[in-house]
Amino acid sequence: MTESRLPDLGERPAPAASGYDRGSALPTHVGEPIVKVGALHKYFGENHVLRGIDLEVRQREAVMVIGRSGSGKTTLLRCINFLEEPTEGWVEVDGVRLQADPLRARNRPHQEQIRQIRLRAGMLFQEFNLFPHMSVLDNCIEAPMRVTRLSRDEAVARAEGYLDKVGLSDKRDEYPSRLSGGQKQRVAIARALCMEPKVLLFDEPTSALDPELIGEVLVVMEDLAHEGTTMIVVTHEMHFAEEAADRVVFMEDGVIVEQGPPEQLLRDPRHEETIHFLRRFIDR
């Protein structure tokens, strides 16, 4: 039934996974590919949510994924660290490559591989998901102490560093319930950074925030991007994407329709769907 609305895949050359296929030069600061996604499919029951995604993200690159709700962008992000087991395809993060295996998803070796990927890919959620029964500092040192086996002193020192980076070192002993939404998301960012992941995955990090609190989170993210943190960000903040992205990826109906540098994709999109989608956002 939905078939008629789908973009005609046959007549369009599939975009190269790296996104730098149109002769646009690779930004000089980016390095080798660190996240690779190949032929990724995801079904929820009958619903074909991801329909063959190929994507490569390079070191120090900030990639923003945009698209309508329901286009599969959040699912793509959640498939990268296997919060959703893809139905088909593979994911590679920092050399750890994992083939989707929905039938054996609960097997121990598969779970351990997933954990290895998660240690390399930090995730930020729309709802922050701070642990409410732990102080800000405990939120930050829990995983480094229990997973990376850091000593408490080392973990605290590291956490203090990252809390300082997000501007919240004075809140280290507060409980999450006493923080504003923007502060919670900044703590969540510090918590993710404490595991020193190779890439940060942001799933609409400002969508649950009051408008006046969005800015403080975006500032932190922009700083991270400019410092060369590798990140994949699902977002509706087009101005932020324009400022901070090295590359913008536009998704629709479970495929990557178009991607490129922000000034090209946001200002001069080539595909009908992209133009149509962006009409709502970009002021002419």
Partner 1 sequence: MVAAVGERPRAQILIDIDKARTSRRRRSRLIFVGVWIAILGGIIGAFASTGNTDIEWIAEWAPFILGGSGITILVCLCSIVLAVVLAIFGALGRISKSPVAYAIASFYVSLVRGTPLLVQIYIIYFALPTISPLLILPAIPAGIIALGFNYGAYMTEIFRAGIEAVPRGQIEAAEALGIPKRLVFRRIVLPQAVRIVTPAIGNEFIVMIKDSALVSIIGVQELLWRAETSGRPALNILEAFFIAAMVYWVLTIIFSFFQGRLEKRMARGDR
Task: Establish if 129 lies at the interface with partner 1 (CB under 8 A).
Answer: yes
Task: Establish if 248 lies at the interface with partner 1 (CB under 8 A).
Answer: no
Alpha helices in 98-255 (DSSP H): 108-120, 136-146, 152-165, 181-193, 211-226, 238-244
Alpha helices in 59-99 (DSSP H): 73-80
Taking the complex as a whole, the smallest distance from the CB of residue 187 to partner 1 amounts, in Å, to: 12
**List of residues 6+ apart from 258 with CB closer than 8 A:** 15, 249, 250, 265, 269, 270, 271, 273, 274
139 in Cβ contact with 176 (< 8 Å): yes
SS3 182: helix
Positions in 184-213 near partner 1 (CB under 8 A):
188, 191-192, 195
Task: Establish if 122 lies at the interface with partner 1 (CB under 8 A).
Answer: yes
Picking from 76, 91, 102, 101, the residue whose alpha carbon sits closest to that of residue 254 is: 76
DSSP characters over 221-245: HHHHHHTT--EEEE-S-HHHHHHH-
- Spatial strand order in the sheet of 47-58: 47-58, 33-44, 88-93, 96-99
Task: Establish if 143 lies at the interface with partner 1 (CB under 8 A).
Answer: yes
- CB nearer partner 1, residue 135 or residue 264: 135
Positions in 146-165 near partner 1 (CB under 8 A):
146-147
Size of site (CB under 8 A) for partner 1: 28
262-to-69, 255, 265, 266, 280 alpha-carbon distances in Å: 20, 19, 5, 5, 16
- CB nearer partner 1, residue 176 or residue 254: 176
Task: Establish if 269 lies at the interface with partner 1 (CB under 8 A).
Answer: no
Task: Establish if 169 lies at the interface with partner 1 (CB under 8 A).
Answer: no
Element (H, E) at 38: strand 33-44
Task: Establish if 101 lies at the interface with partner 1 (CB under 8 A).
Answer: no
Among 17, 53, 119, 187, binds partner 1 (CB under 8 A): 119
Taking the complex as a whole, the smallest distance from the CB of residue 191 to partner 1 amounts, in Å, to: 7
- CB nearer partner 1, residue 130 or residue 218: 130
Among 12, 29, 97, 133, binds partner 1 (CB under 8 A): 133
- CB nearer partner 1, residue 83 or residue 219: 83
Residues that bind partner 1 (CB under 8 A): 81, 83, 106, 111, 115, 118-119, 121-123, 125, 127, 129-133, 142-143, 146-147, 175-177, 188, 191-192, 195
